[in-house]
A and B are shown apart, each in its own frame.
Chain A
Amino acid sequence: MLDRESTFKDPEIVRLLKSRFIPVAIDQAYQRRQKDAEGEFYRKIAGQGPRNNFQGTTQGLYLATAGGKLLGFNNNRGGDRIRRMMKKALEGFRASGAAVIERGKVDARYNPSSPEGGMVVRVQSKILGGYEETTDRWRKIFQGSLSRDNLWVTKAEHDALVAGRLLPTLKKRIARYHLVDNTRGEPPMWKADEIRSLELSLEDGRLSGTVHLETTNGKRGYKASLLGRVEKKNGRVVRFDLVARGEFWGEGTYTRGAPKGRFPLAASFTLADGSDIADGVPPQGSRGWVRGYLRQ
């Protein structure tokens, strides 16, 4: 969230990325672990930087040649340092004549694909109010942020929607992994027994219902109403629009800084059409355990 509205808002950095670099965005929790060509290439680059213990995070911005030589590393935000790093790297850069690395056999655990015959739904969430006013630049960014994740729907769930039915597995997945406050970072997902109530039905193409999610200690929760539309054509779902709106409370280890008390949080769901590169990103809730995410 912070990089988007700081480093990647800088016009010169954006210009350089479009014209002089090949930009790639990754969740390094995958690449630093995966045992395949992509993982090896990432570790080769990151291993030359200060974050070379692959048991922990290697988060940061890396500049590298196609041969894997590190040209620069920075884990700070803001335009100046990154702009300087990019320019310095370009000054010393010579295309090395490196060969293309063949993908070979991929580490399946870290290369999940969206379910064949299913669908991908974009999920975006936003806190609608409740923050205290601030002049802090970074807090302001968090306070206005709109999150993005993807919901994966299996073929069986898709086909049931076409037939006018909403399978319990899809309902639970929506609740556990996608009705979360992920507007300030990686959120805690809901455990199965934290679904206190979940009523979501599909009738004549209309989705409607309510949900109550709450941790055992009551410190984090969400009570919301849901409304949406499903449309089909030629045996495929062509519209899946859903909105949840309600009161959220609490925060997670990596989502500190939530508004105090209860605050309004909304989430929107929209069928992805593949036009956005982010449509190809696996759901955050599937990280490391896709089968568990899909099984419910």
Chain B
Amino acid sequence: MNFPGFVSALCLAFSAVSGLFAEGLSEAEFQRLHKKLQVSGEKPWRTIPWKISLLDAQRAAVSEKKPIFIWAMDGHPLGCT
């Protein structure tokens, strides 16, 4: 391969690799991913009427005469754990 050919090949290779990050997101990809990364309200755990305050739960337990179910995690259970 002559020198100009080598440089062209190098440029092509570089643009292919850097394109992984530099090409950006297309409008279509943005729309597709934004729609895909939404929590479905139909998941069973999301249909449960969770409270996020223990004292709110205690108040409801008094008025509704029910026991309290506490889901206590490291990190918030409705968040990342």
Q: Which of B47, B56, B61, B72 contacts A28 (CB 8 A)?
A: B72
Query: Are the CB atoms of B77 and A25 closer together than 8 Å?
Result: yes
- Judge whether A270 is part of the interface by a CB distance below 8 angstroms: yes
**Contact residues on B (Cβ < 8 Å of other chain), bracket:** 35 or more
Query: Are the CB atoms of A14 and B69 closer together than 8 Å?
Result: no
Interface of B is mostly: mixed
- Judge whether B5 is part of the interface by a CB distance below 8 angstroms: no
- Judge whether A21 is part of the interface by a CB distance below 8 angstroms: yes
Instruction: Give the docked Cα–Cα distance between A8 and B50 (Å).
Output: 12
Query: Are the CB atoms of A89 and B67 closer together than 8 Å?
Result: yes
> A64 → chain B, closest Cβ, in Å?
5
Q: Which of B21, B27, B45, B58 contacts A225 (CB 8 A)?
A: B21
**A binding-site residues for B, Cβ under 8 Å:** 1, 3-5, 8-11, 14, 17-18, 20-29, 31, 37-38, 41-42, 45-46, 57-66, 71, 86, 89-90, 93, 95, 98-101, 103, 124-126, 146-150, 182, 185-187, 208, 210, 212, 223-228, 241, 243, 245-247, 254, 266-268, 270, 276-278, 280-282, 284
**B binding-site residues for A, Cβ under 8 Å:** 20-25, 27, 29-30, 33-34, 36-39, 43-45, 47-81
Can you list the 4 inter-chain pairs with the closest CB atoms, starting with the nearest? A268-B37, A8-B45, A95-B65, A24-B57
